[in-house]
């Protein structure tokens, strides 16, 4: 009798665990390719595979994704990824989280972001805005400090601290170099600001 009860409890726990995984899995992504070529198809396949491998539900604010060869990754009006990083899943995953991070900031609203922008300028005066040090504009460069921190936090959650830091350090030498440098050198300071403003995935 006791054995049957234990088996029933174990079965119930297993079902509960499996149902929680199903509820937390990545929502179905609506991925399109701009030109339908082999590189874009490969990138689509990579993102779909990563969405099955990792639970991206928390990091998916928009499910509409365009894959476009030759485009620069961007978040608005439609999240667009280029075929870069086909040979590196961690960098591909970090790019996905990065662009979704922009959506998180936009959903906060203009008035809240205006206060955040002013605070970031006071905290880090004089960040270079021109590529590759910055992201091309003043406001965009400063908001990228938050987006890059969201990216780092998300990567840590998904792949662990060591691989996450490796991805961020690699990017610091590739693009947005001054922004990633600020993030790497001032994590505690930036995270404190984010907590004050309730910014998190």
Q: Give pLDDT tens digits for 32-68.
A: 999 999 999 999 999 999 999 999 999 999 999 999 9
In this prediction the pTM is 0.87
- 3-class state of residue 164 by DSSP: helix
Of the given ranges (15-29, 97-111, 120-134), which has the lowest mean pLDDT?
Answer: 15-29
Residue 178: pLDDT band with limits 50, 70, 90: very high
The 10 Å Cβ neighbour count of residue 63 is 13
Q: Check if the beta carbon of residue 146 is closer than 8 Å to that of residue 190.
A: yes
Name the strand (E) or helix (H) holding 163. Answer: helix 161-172
pLDDT at 10: 52
The answer to whether 105 and 144 are in contact (CB under 8 A) is: no
Q: Which of 7-21, 72-86, 157-171 has the lowest mean pLDDT?
A: 7-21
What radius of gyration, in Å, describes the C-alpha atoms of the chain?
19
pLDDT at 24: 53
What contacts 198, CB < 8 A, 6 or more positions away?
A: none
Confidence label for 15 from pLDDT (cuts 50, 70 and 90):
very low
């Amino acid at each position: 009798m006791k054995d049957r009860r234990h088996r029933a409890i174990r079965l119930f726990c297993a079902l509960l665990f499996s149902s929680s995984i199903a509820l937390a899995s990545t929502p179905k992504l609506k991925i399109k390719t701009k030109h339908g070529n082999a590189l874009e198809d490969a990138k689509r396949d990579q993102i779909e595979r990563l969405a099955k491998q990792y639970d991206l539900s928390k990091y998916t604010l928009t499910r509409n994704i365009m894959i476009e060869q030759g485009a620069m990754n961007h978040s608005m009006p439609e999240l667009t990824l280029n075929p870069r990083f086909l040979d590196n899943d961690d960098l591909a995953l970090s790019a996905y989280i990065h662009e979704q991070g922009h959506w998180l900031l936009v959903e906060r609203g203009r008035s809240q972001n205006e206060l955040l922008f002013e605070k970031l300028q006071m905290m880090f005066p004089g960040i270079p805005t021109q590529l590759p040090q910055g992201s091309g504009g003043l406001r965009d460069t400063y908001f990228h400090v938050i987006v890059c921190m969201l990216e780092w936090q998300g990567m840590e959650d998904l792949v662990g601290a060591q691989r996450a830091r490796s991805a961020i350090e690699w990017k610091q030498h590739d693009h947005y170099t001054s922004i990633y440098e600020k993030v790497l050198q001032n994590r505690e300071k930036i995270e404190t600001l984010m907590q004050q403003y309730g910014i998190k995935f």
